[in-house]
């Protein structure tokens, strides 16, 4: 604890003694900075796979977890503002220390990442071609079928999703005759997610005879799901 406080004080001193302005700001402030800088140095630090699916327009992708991250950011202008974001804010926060060490004068981090940006209704440039996605027609056909249907929107990078997926899969394995399970990769089904107004995950939905009877935009316990499915 003492070490963390010392680190924070040291970081504060370094930032201001060197004339650096490095801070985390909300979506509204981030948008203002983006407009003011015309997105000249807007950096998305997620993986190339994530970046390909959706991003803030005019962003440049430099993967924070790539061994070449420091080398790539050295190509940027250190005297001009840099705007940084990831999905939830964790990776971009980690990237801030690298920008600091590299001597960048002004860096802004998007608080809450793309998730917060999307919740605030800000525009996202995304691949909505529908190629290789589950169509709305097929989704409707599955969810309108007789009996119970459990839908799980998830993504491999989402920690809560990785906890939920084994739970719903185990339930289906144990009760295959009681309900139908539909797992949907959020990243690979952006168009469908947008049509269903789903902007964050995990997102669980239960249908009964074609009617949505329950949904939850967070983790759920096995007992909670079993109760809705009539398994308890």
Over residues 180-196, the pLDDT tens digits come to 999 999 888 888 998 99
Q: In CATH, what number does 2-126 get?
A: 3.40.250.10
Q: pLDDT tens across 59-86, in order?
A: 999 999 999 999 999 999 999 999 999 9
Give catalytic residues, as residue numbers: 158, 161
Mean pLDDT, the chain, rounded, equals 89
DSSP code per residue over 37-104: HTTTTEEE-S-HHHHHHEE-TT-EE--TTSTTHHHHHTTS-TTS-EEEE-SSSHHHHHHHHHHHHTT-
pLDDT for residue 4:
44
- Percent over 90 (pLDDT), the chain: 72
Place of tokens 């056909």: 141
Residue 151's region, left for phi above 0, alpha for psi from -120 to 50, else beta, is beta
pLDDT for residue 132:
74
pLDDT for residue 170:
96
pLDDT for residue 129:
67
Please say if the pLDDT value at position 101 is more than 90: yes
Q: Where in the chain is the domain with CATH 3.40.250.10?
A: 2-126
CB of 152 closer than 8 Å to CB of 165: yes
Helix (H, G, I), strand (E, B) or coil at 220: coil
Please name which of 186, 53, 55 lies closest in space to residue 114, comparing C-alpha atoms.
Answer: 55
| Separation in Å, CA 221 to CA 128, 165, 183 | 32, 11, 17
Burial of 11 (0-12, 13-18, 19+ CB in 10 A): middle
Instruction: State both tokens at 135.
Output: 């169509």
Q: Where in the chain is the domain with CATH 3.40.30.10?
A: 136-228
Give the Cβ contact number of residue 37 at 10 Å. Answer: 17
Q: pLDDT tens across 150-209, in order?
A: 999 998 778 899 999 999 999 999 999 999 999 999 888 888 998 999 988 999 999 999
pLDDT for residue 5:
42
pLDDT for residue 7:
39
Instruction: State both tokens at 82.
Output: 């840099």
Query: For the domain 136-228, what is the CATH superfamily, name and number?
Result: Glutaredoxin (3.40.30.10)
Q: pLDDT tens across 115-147, in order?
A: 889 888 888 887 766 777 899 999 999 999 999
């Amino acid at each position: 604890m003492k070490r963390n406080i010392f680190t924070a004080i040291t970081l504060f001193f370094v930032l201001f003694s060197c004339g650096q302005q490095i801070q985390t700001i909300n979506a509204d402030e981030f948008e203002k900075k983006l407009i003011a800088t015309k997105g000249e140095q807007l950096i998305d630090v997620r993986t190339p796979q994530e970046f390909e699916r959706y991003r803030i327009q005019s962003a440049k992708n430099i993967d924070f977890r790539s061994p070449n991250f420091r080398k790539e950011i050295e190509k940027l202008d250190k005297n001009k503002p840099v705007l940084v974001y990831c999905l939830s804010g964790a990776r971009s926060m980690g990237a801030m220390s690298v920008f600091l060490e590299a001597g960048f004068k002004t860096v802004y981090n998007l608080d809450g990442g793309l998730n917060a940006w999307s919740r605030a209704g800000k525009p996202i440039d995304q691949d909505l071609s529908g190629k290789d996605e589950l169509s709305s027609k097929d989704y409707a056909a599955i969810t309108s079928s007789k009996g119970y249907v459990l839908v799980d929107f998830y993504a491999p990078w989402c920690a809560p999703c990785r906890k939920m997926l084994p739970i719903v899969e185990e339930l289906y394995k144990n009760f295959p005759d009681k309900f139908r399970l539909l797992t949907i990769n959020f990243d690979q089904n952006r168009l469908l997610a947008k049509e269903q107004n789903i902007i964050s995950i995990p997102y669980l939905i239960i249908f009964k005879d074609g009617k949505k009877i329950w949904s939850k935009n967070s983790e759920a316990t096995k007992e909670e799901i079993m109760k809705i499915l009539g398994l308890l």
